[in-house]
């Protein structure tokens, strides 16, 4: 009988130990679940490499501005603002106003159609600006004389505004370039007098659509030109925030241009009915 009581005591001790372990495991499980809930409640927008300000331009009350490093912050009053209306995450800017001095901030994490106006202004065709950068390797900036030589080789012409411009093939008398080229040193434009001393960490290629070429054709030419610049200067193709371009970003860009072409056709058809 005494042995039975001892066994019972050990049994109770064992049961108690099991209960304590179960309570401990349940507490860990609850902590893990709470941590997962907190992570889900965090904003999905992650910081971007090289970003020096809030991810969304609309988060600040001040004027919209985009950081291009040594080029500085491009704001609506910057002397290049009417030339380079840029969205810094390779998200193209859809502009439905006539002026070229208004920046439109886009959320890089939302679907493109969610931030486009569903109704087109019947008097103004939809527009967008596409931007790519070609970045030099660290501590190996692009040099002015080499930039000038490559520009001539790739049939870029230096315009009156100090930007190298690429015009449609076979149209030497064209007034509107397909796209333009600036550099990432203040002030961004090229000066033949100071070009021999120029050292820049990168180049900025941008184009406005609609332009002298059909949208998809212009995009193909822009991407091909950026690749040529990268190969000849020993750089890499990046987006506006200096993140290296990949196939996914390029596919999204092509989809954006295709969407613009669809919207342009709809606008033209609607505009024609009105007339």
Looking at the predicted structure, is the pLDDT value of residue 188 above 70? Answer: yes
Can you name the CATH fold of 57-274? Cell Division Protein Zipa; Chain: A, (3.30.1400)
| Per-residue model confidence (pLDDT) at position 171 | 67
Angle, helices 215-233 vs 247-274, to 10°: value is 150
- Average pLDDT for residues 39-51, to the nearest whole number? 40
Global pTM value: 0.57
- Average pLDDT for residues 4-9, to the nearest whole number? 74
Q: Is residue 130 within 8 Å of 253, Cβ to Cβ? A: yes
Spell out the residues 6+ positions from residue 77 whose beta carbon is closer than 8 angstroms to its own: none
Q: Pick the more confident residue, 9 or 215.
A: 215
Beta-bridge partners for 205: 132, 181
E strands of the chain, at which residues?
66-67, 73-74, 93-95, 127-135, 142-143, 156-158, 164-166, 179-183, 199-200, 202-209, 236-238
The structure tokens listed for 273 are: 């009915």
**How far apart (Å, rounded) are the C-alpha atoms in residues 269 and 262?**
11
Domain edges within the chain: 57-274
With H, G, I as helix, E, B as strand and everything else as coil, classify residue 95: strand
The 8 Å CB, 24+ separation contacts for 111-114 are 112/252, 112/255, 112/256, 112/259, 113/259
* 174-184: pLDDT as tens digits: 789 999 999 99
* 47-88: pLDDT as tens digits: 333 333 333 333 344 443 444 444 444 444 444 544 443 333
């Amino acid at each position: 009988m005494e042995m039975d009581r001892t066994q019972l005591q050990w049994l109770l001790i064992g049961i108690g130990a099991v209960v304590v372990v179960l309570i401990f495991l349940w507490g860990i499980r609850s902590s893990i679940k709470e941590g997962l809930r907190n992570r889900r409640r965090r904003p999905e927008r992650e910081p971007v490499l090289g970003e020096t300000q809030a991810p969304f331009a609309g988060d600040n009350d001040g004027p919209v501005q985009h950081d291009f490093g040594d080029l500085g912050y491009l704001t609506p009053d910057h002397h290049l603002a009417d030339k380079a209306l840029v969205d810094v995450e390779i998200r193209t800017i859809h502009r439905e106003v006539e002026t070229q001095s208004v920046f439109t901030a886009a959320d890089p994490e939302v679907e493109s159609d969610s931030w486009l106006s569903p109704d087109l202004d019947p008097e103004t065709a939809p527009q967008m600006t596409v931007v790519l950068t070609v970045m030099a390797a660290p501590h190996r900036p692009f040099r002015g004389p080499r930039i000038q030589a490559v520009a001539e080789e790739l049939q870029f012409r230096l315009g009156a505004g100090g930007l190298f411009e690429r015009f449609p093939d076979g149209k030497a008398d064209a007034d509107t370039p397909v796209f333009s080229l600036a550099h990432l040193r203040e002030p961004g434009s090229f000066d033949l007098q100071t070009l021999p001393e120029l050292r820049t960490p990168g180049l900025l290629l941008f184009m406005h659509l609609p332009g002298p070429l059909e949208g998809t054709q212009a995009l193909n030419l822009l991407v091909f030109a950026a690749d040529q610049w990268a190969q000849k200067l020993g750089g890499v193709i990046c987006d506006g925030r200096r993140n290296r371009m990949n196939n996914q970003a390029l596919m999204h860009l092509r989809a954006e241009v295709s969407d613009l072409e669809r919207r342009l056709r709809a606008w033209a058809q609607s505009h024609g009915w009105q007339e």
